[in-house]
Amino acid sequence: MSTTKRKNCHRENQGAMKADHNLDCSTPSKSCIPCHSRSLASKQSKRSRLDPIVLPTQLEEKTIVPATKNKQDNVKSIRQSSECSLQNIPCETKNIFRDFLLRPTDVQRGQCGLRNIGNTCFMNSAIQCLSNVSDLTEYILENDVTTILNTTNDLGTHGKLALAYADLIQNMWSGKQTITEGSLVKRYVSELSPRFAGYSQQDSHEFLNVLLDALHEDLKQDSDIIENEISLISEIFHGQIRSTVTCTCGEPLITFDSISFLALPIPKLPLPPPRRKNSGISIKRTVTLQDCFNELFKVETLRENGQWFCNKCDCLMDAEKKLELWTPPQVLILQLKRFTYDLSSNMKIQTLVEYPFDSSLDLGRFIADPNYSGNTHYELVAISSHTGSLAGGHYTTYAKNFLTNKWLHFNDEIVREVDEKTLLSANTYLLVYRRQ
CB 288 within 8 A of CB 359: no
CA dihedral sign, ordered 86, 127, 181, 28: positive
Cβ neighbours of residue 413 under 8 Å, at least 6 residues apart?
113, 114, 115, 116, 179
Q: Which residues pair with 256 in a beta bridge?
A: 5, 242
Provide the pairing of β-strand 2-6 with 352-354. Answer: unpaired
Cβ neighbours of residue 9 under 8 Å, at least 6 residues apart?
213
How far apart are alpha carbons 286 and 280 in whole angstroms? 18
Of 170, 82, 89, 135, the C-alpha closest to 402 is 135
How far apart are alpha carbons 20 and 33 in whole angstroms? 12
- Is 121 a residue of the active site? yes
Residue type (1 letter), 381: V
Task: Give rounded-to-5 percent helix, strand, coil for the chain.
Answer: 35, 25, 40
Give the torsion through C-alpha atoms of 166, 169, 175, 178, to 10 deg: 130
Q: In what side-by-side order are the strands of the sheet with 300-302?
A: 2-6, 252-259, 239-247, 319-327, 300-302
CB 215 within 8 A of CB 225: no
Provide the pairing of β-strand 2-6 with 393-400. Answer: unpaired
Cβ neighbours of residue 305 under 8 Å, at least 6 residues apart?
none
How far apart are alpha carbons 373 and 165 in whole angstroms? 34
How far apart are alpha carbons 53 and 172 in whole angstroms? 11
CB 196 within 8 A of CB 165: no
Q: Beta-carbon neighbour count of residue 407 at 10 Å?
A: 21
Q: Which of 21, 112, 121, 386 is catalytic?
A: 121
For residue 361, what is the enclosing H or E element? Answer: strand 361-362
- Return phi, psi of residue 288, to 5°: -105, 165
Q: Which residues pair with 113 in a beta bridge?
A: 179
Question: Which residues are designated catalytic?
Answer: 121, 394
